[in-house]
Structure 1
Amino acid sequence: MDNPISSRDFRCLQLACVGLGLAAGSIIIGVSVSKAAAAVGGIFIGAAGLGLLMLAYPFLKDQLNLDHILPTLGSLRIHPHPGPDHGEGRSSTNGNKEGARSSLSTVSRTLEKLKPGGRGAGEG
């Protein structure tokens, strides 16, 4: 029982499990009538996909050189560039506040006019 398994045999076993998972999931989904059975088939296919990813990871790591790509992806940061400042920065902010106040007062006056017995009910 102390027979070591070779790397090639292990990869073949992984590939066989992936194939079995894909076949079982496809058959379960194909013959299922209920949604629950189809969900179980989807779980089989998802597990097979994960097994396939585990099988392909060493190849992808070597071919894509992930050790150099992943640290650069992790160091990416978003640095928003502010728009051009035309000397209106603070005044436009205050202008927006004033504009909001004036529109609020306009809405209040309109609501007062619409109320029965309001200030502007008899006018017009």
Structure 2
Amino acid sequence: MDIPISSRDFRCLQLACVALGLVAGSIIIGVSVSKAAAAVGGVFIGAAGLGFLIFIYPFLKARFNLDHLLPRLGSLRIHPHAGRNCEEAGASANGNKEGARRSLSTVSRTLEKLKPGGRGTEEG
């Protein structure tokens, strides 16, 4: 069953959904006590933001002529600077390995403290 809808009515419906999402998200965040409820409000606001972007896309496309802009953005490439010599790179790699060992031992110590009956827990 197809119901004909005009372009203007469709845009109004889109804008109403965006407004409803923003209002609902703001209310949920405003009255929430827990972080989980605030996260749900954030999801509502994020969905409303996405809806708003979908709503304004035709206007942006007409205003900024995105058909010419988007292919240029897609063809951008990152060109790294000339690399350092091998001696500097080797010393840097050794320093990174040492740093990784240090952080790994810190993580191991922290995990030992968190274990039940571990040396870091004090029962009194």
| TM-score normalised to structure 2 length | 0.63
Aligned equivalents of 2:80, 2:31: Cα separation in 1: 53
The percent of aligned pairs where both chains have the same amino acid is: 80
| TM-score normalised to structure 1 length | 0.63
TM-superposition CA deviations, 1:74-99 (whole Å, max 9, x none): 1122345659xxxxxxxxx58x48xx
CA RMSD, 1 decimal: 2.5
AA aligned opposite 1:56: I
3-state SS in 1 of match to 2:5: coil
| Structure 1 residue aligned with 2:10 | 10
**Stretches of structure 1 lacking an aligned partner (at least 5 in a row):** 84-92, 101-124
| Structure 2 residue aligned with 1:22 | 22
Aligned residues: 89
**Stretches of structure 2 lacking an aligned partner (at least 5 in a row):** 92-124
Ranges of 4+ aligned residues in structure 1 off by more than 6 Å: none
Superposition map of 1:45-84 within 5 A: 45-80=45-80, 82=82
Aligned equivalents of 2:10, 2:63: Cα separation in 1: 21
